[in-house]
A = this chain, B = another copy of it.
Amino acid sequence: MVNRQFVLASRPVGMPKESDLRMVETPVPALREGEVLLRALYLSVDPYMRGRMNAAKSYAPSVEIGAVMVGGGVARIVESRNPDYEAGDVVNLQMGWQEYAVSNGEGLRKIDPHVAPVSTALGVLGMPGLTAYFGLLEVCGVNAGEAVVVSAAAGAVGSVVGQIAKIKGCRAIGIAGGPEKTRYVIDECGFNAALDYKSTNDYSAAIKELCPNGVDVYFDNVGGPITDAVLANLNVRARIAICGQISQANDMQPSTGPRMWRYILVARARVQGFLVFDYAGRYASALEQLAAWVRSGQIKYHEDIIEGFENMPRALIGLFQGENLGKRLVKV
């Protein structure tokens, strides 16, 4: 049986090109005792993957040239020699960019298909949802009535951040690119307001208009000039979670911008970088809460599904071009 994989062909310079990833075919290995064979149903593309393609170690090691590209997936067990799993089970795992994977069971998380579509294990009921949950509730902390601003608000993480903020009685203000996205965060996700940064020149004035009493919490997925504009509107004791900096992801040189630390000082604000993995011990209870909110309709989600394993590179590149609405997945 043949396994199709994408391996890292070359380290991207700036924006990744499709040719930075190369499809290879390898035989699916035979199972040993204790192992399971998995077939990918959905594979995830996420902004963090760009960092893994660089040579420099970030918070996680680089992918080596020639190695299978890393990433999460939802897969069905097609054969099991592990007593904890049987054929037909659906699991979430870090399986990399490939159609088949063999696992000894370590790091697998069983997905109950009755709770929600299994694809959500890569989105609202997976890493992005958990990132929103812990980033907003633990890193920032919110109080009812506060103004919560989130960038990349129509994305997999941002859309959940705003909805949790609403559940907690906050005002949710999203920043997103284009009218389709701003409509989505307001009409579908129930945000109070949204800023289309593509149709705005003066971001800071626009944020001031949407947050006339200032910004209490900022969940930052993008960095750059949008973040500068939010910092210029902070309230005293504002909290800022740095989750991602997608606007900088493909910079070949560190970009420059105005120095904003005086704003942090004057507001006595707190800025905290975080990774969802810091909360790994608490995933189970958070997923239970997120699932309850999804079932009750308090959290809506949108999946942006690309068909075909061969389209993985294009799907990833599109993230950096803002193509996706909600969680982008590849259906294998």
Report A's interface with B, CB cutoff 8 A: 58-59, 220, 223-224, 227, 236, 242-245, 248, 254-262, 264-275, 278
- Shortest beta-carbon distance, A135 to chain B, in Å? 11
The one of B59, B255, B259 that contacts A266, using a Cβ cutoff of 8 Å:
B59
Instruction: Please state if A259 and B268 are interface contacts (CB–CB under 8 Å).
Output: no
Instruction: Please state if B264 and A271 are interface contacts (CB–CB under 8 Å).
Output: yes
The one of B223, B257, B261, B271 that contacts A223, using a Cβ cutoff of 8 Å:
B261
Query: Bound state CA distance, A245 and B261, in angstroms?
Result: 8
The one of B59, B244, B270 that contacts A268, using a Cβ cutoff of 8 Å:
B59
Nearest CB in chain B to that of A224: its residue:
B259
In the bound complex, residues from chain B placing their C-beta under 8 Å from that of A58 are 266
Query: Bound state CA distance, A254 and B258, in angstroms?
Result: 6
Most B-side CB within 10 Å, residue of A223, A242, A248: A242
Instruction: Please state if A271 and B268 are interface contacts (CB–CB under 8 Å).
Output: no
Nearest CB in chain B to that of A225: its residue:
B259
Nearest CB in chain B to that of A277: its residue:
B268
- Shortest beta-carbon distance, A167 to chain B, in Å? 26
- Shortest beta-carbon distance, A138 to chain B, in Å? 12
Instruction: Please state if A259 and B248 are interface contacts (CB–CB under 8 Å).
Output: yes
The one of B236, B244, B265, B270 that contacts A244, using a Cβ cutoff of 8 Å:
B265
In the bound complex, residues from chain B placing their C-beta under 8 Å from that of A260 are 254
Given contacts A256-B256, A268-B278, A269-B273, contact A261 B59 (CB under 8 A): no
The one of B257, B267, B269 that contacts A256, using a Cβ cutoff of 8 Å:
B257
Add 19 more A-B contacts to A58-B266, A256-B259 (CB < 8 A). A59-B236, A59-B266, A223-B262, A242-B264, A245-B261, A248-B261, A248-B262, A254-B259, A255-B258, A256-B258, A261-B273, A264-B273, A265-B273, A267-B273, A268-B278, A269-B272, A269-B273, A270-B271, A270-B273
Query: Bound state CA distance, A21 and B258, in angstroms?
Result: 30
In the bound complex, residues from chain B placing their C-beta under 8 Å from that of A256 are 256-259
Most B-side CB within 10 Å, residue of A244, A254, A274: A254
**What would be 14 A-B contacts, judged by CB atoms less than 8 Å apart?**
A58-B266, A59-B266, A223-B262, A224-B259, A244-B265, A245-B259, A245-B265, A248-B261, A254-B260, A255-B258, A265-B274, A268-B272, A269-B272, A270-B271
In the bound complex, residues from chain B placing their C-beta under 8 Å from that of A267 are 273
The one of B257, B262, B269, B270 that contacts A259, using a Cβ cutoff of 8 Å:
B257
The one of B245, B258, B262 that contacts A262, using a Cβ cutoff of 8 Å:
B245
Query: Bound state CA distance, A258 and B260, in angstroms?
Result: 11
In the bound complex, residues from chain B placing their C-beta under 8 Å from that of A242 are 261, 264-265
In the bound complex, residues from chain B placing their C-beta under 8 Å from that of A257 are 256-257, 259
In the bound complex, residues from chain B placing their C-beta under 8 Å from that of A244 are 265
In the bound complex, residues from chain B placing their C-beta under 8 Å from that of A220 are 261
